[in-house]
């Protein structure tokens, strides 16, 4: 049992100040904010995460969903996944987000899980969660057990020789097509920043332990979505081993606008196949300006998976991802 300090600040400023109180870089790195705890507490029980200081942010006033002056949406960091998925404006204007969240985890987990926690949930790679096994993400420089191990669930896009762990979030895939912005409050030296979701998650490269651009002590305060796109159709389609309470083998989020039988705007992202939520500019470029038909939809799916690199057990994901995207596009344009 690792001992840790448990702190309950009253506002975001106090939370960030508490986090910044570290005397050494190591102490700074050993701080975690606690949202719903559905990822973090699990990993603490497994000794994968051993924070020295846990800052509970559940009492902070970050639990509101509000319309922004430009007609977009502001989502507080501690808004529960259930509240977000069932919010009337989300269901009406950002349906892809509602569908993605509801497809994840279970009702009980979604009732606890927060918006910020979901953005930062860790991979489900079994070797990452097993401290008896080497893992570059958990313990840099120890090696990657999965490349020669059981890799059926793991990524085929954005991998490196150091890590092929999949980003497991459904919510983030929808947020990628909605072009969300993540708002962060850091210590006074860094201040507040707004980070487009496309720049938020990092590829593993040589440093798989670094998953986002956040620095230790950065607090996510809220997420904003741009105003809804008039006339767009949105679909999230998730394929998995069983129909509920299971992570994606492959999923697709699409937001598409069609006028006169041709695609005028397309946003496409894939889940379950990338080392980060996988926006596909290649599929988007293949769709825009084209008429909506089976051949053009398939071309977009081929473009999205062109750079896929399968491992020994997960080559099936390439065709599965193409089919999830093809079906999502057919549903959105039907
Ligand atoms: C059995 C099971 C099945 C699941 N199935 C799915 C699924 O199918 N699809 C899916 O997408 N997800 C699934 N999940 C994952 C679930 O969605 C995440 O665990 C959840 O979204 C994490 O949110 P949380 O608030 O509980 O995060 P926490 O566990 O509280 O935190 C997660 C991380 O975020 C950090 N953090 C939290 N809030 C902030 C903040 N404001 N600023 C900075 N850092 C912060 C924490 O320090 C921690 O590192 C599943 C989880 C479980 C346990």
Which strands make up the sheet holding 219-225, listed edge to edge? 65-67, 73-76, 219-225, 181-185, 192-196
How confident is the chain (334 residues) per 10-residue block, as mean pLDDT? 91 89 73 97 97 96 98 98 98 98 97 98 97 97 93 97 98 98 94 97 98 96 98 98 94 98 98 98 98 98 98 98 98 97
> Which residue, chain included where needed, has tokens 């590829």?
203
Handedness of CA 102, 36, 179, 272 (dihedral sign): negative
> What pLDDT was estimated at residue 25?
67
Which strands make up the sheet holding 31-34, listed edge to edge? 5-7, 53-56, 31-34
> What pLDDT was estimated at residue 85?
98
Q: Ligand 1 pocket, 34 CB below 6 A?
A: yes
Give every CB contact of residue 41 below 8 A, 6+ residues apart in sequence.
Answer: 34
> What pLDDT was estimated at residue 1?
75
Helix %, strand %, coil % for the chain, to 5?
A: 30, 20, 50
Choosing from 44, 105, 193 the residue with most ligand 1 atoms within 8 A of its CB, the one to mutate for a pocket test is 105
Q: Ligand 1 pocket, 251 CB below 6 A?
A: no
Helices (DSSP H) in 103-196: which residue ranges? 107-112, 115-119, 171-178
Specify the DSSP element, H or E, that contains 333: helix 316-333
Looking at CATH, the fold of the domain delimited by 233-333 is given as: Enolase-like; domain 1 (3.30.390)
Which of the following CATH numbers is that of domain 5-56: 3.30.70, 3.30.43, 3.30.60, 1.10.3470?
Answer: 3.30.43
> What pLDDT was estimated at residue 244?
87
- State the Cα torsion 272-107-178-302 to the nearest 10°: 30
CA–centroid distance, 309 to ligand 1, in Å, is 27
> What pLDDT was estimated at residue 295?
98
CA–centroid distance, 39 to ligand 1, in Å, is 4
> What pLDDT was estimated at residue 225?
98
For the chain, give every domain's residue range: 5-56, 233-333
Q: Which atom of ligand 1 is nearest to the CA of 32?
A: 47
The backbone torsions φ and ψ at residue 177, rounded to the nearest 5 degrees and listed phi first, read -75, -25
Residue whose CA is closest, atom 1 of ligand 1?
105
Residue whose CA is closest, atom 37 of ligand 1?
117
Q: Beta-strand (E) ranges in 45-198?
A: 53-56, 65-67, 73-76, 181-185, 192-196
> What pLDDT was estimated at residue 63?
98
Q: Ligand 1 pocket, 247 CB below 6 A?
A: yes
Residue whose CA is closest, atom 41 of ligand 1?
220
Q: Which atom of ligand 1 is nearest to the CA of 78?
A: 41
The backbone torsions φ and ψ at residue 182, rounded to the nearest 5 degrees and listed phi first, read -105, 125
CA–centroid distance, 117 to ligand 1, in Å, is 4
């Amino acid at each position: 049992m690792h001992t840790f300090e448990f702190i309950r600040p009253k506002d975001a400023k106090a939370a960030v100040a508490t986090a910044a109180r570290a005397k050494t870089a190591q102490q700074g790195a050993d701080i975690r904010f606690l949202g719903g705890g559905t990822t973090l507490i699990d990993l603490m029980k497994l000794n994968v995460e051993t924070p020295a200081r846990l800052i509970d942010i559940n009492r902070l006033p970050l639990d509101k969903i509000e319309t922004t002056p430009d007609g977009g949406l502001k989502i507080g960091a501690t808004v529960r996944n259930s509240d977000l998925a069932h919010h009337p404006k989300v269901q009406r204007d950002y349906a892809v987000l509602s569908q993605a969240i509801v497809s994840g985890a279970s009702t009980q987990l979604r009732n606890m899980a927060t918006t910020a926690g979901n953005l930062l949930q860790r991979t489900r790679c079994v070797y990452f969660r097993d401290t008896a096994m080497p893992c570059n993400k958990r313990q840099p420089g120890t090696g990657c057990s999965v490349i020669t191990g059981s890799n059926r669930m793991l990524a085929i896009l954005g991998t490196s020789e150091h890590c092929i762990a999949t980003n497991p979030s459904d919510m983030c895939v929808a947020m990628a097509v909605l072009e969300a912005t993540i708002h962060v409050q850091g210590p006074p030296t860094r201040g507040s920043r707004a980070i487009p979701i496309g720049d938020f998650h990092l590829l593993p490269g040589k440093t798989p332990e670094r998953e986002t651009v956040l620095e230790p002590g950065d607090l996510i305060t809220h997420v904003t979505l741009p105003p809804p796109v008039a006339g767009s159709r949105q679909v999230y389609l998730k394929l998995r081993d069983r129909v509920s309470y299971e992570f994606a083998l492959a999923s697709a989020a699409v937001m598409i606008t069609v006028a006169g039988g041709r695609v005028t705007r397309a946003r496409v992202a894939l889940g379950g196949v990338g080392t980060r939520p996988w926006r596909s500019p290649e599929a988007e470029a293949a769709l825009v300006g084209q008429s909506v038909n089976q051949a053009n939809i398939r071309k977009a799916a081929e473009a999205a998976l062109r750079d896929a690199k399968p491992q020994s057990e997960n080559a099936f994901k390439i065709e599965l991802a193409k089919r999830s995207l093809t079906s999502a596009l057919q549903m959105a344009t039907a």
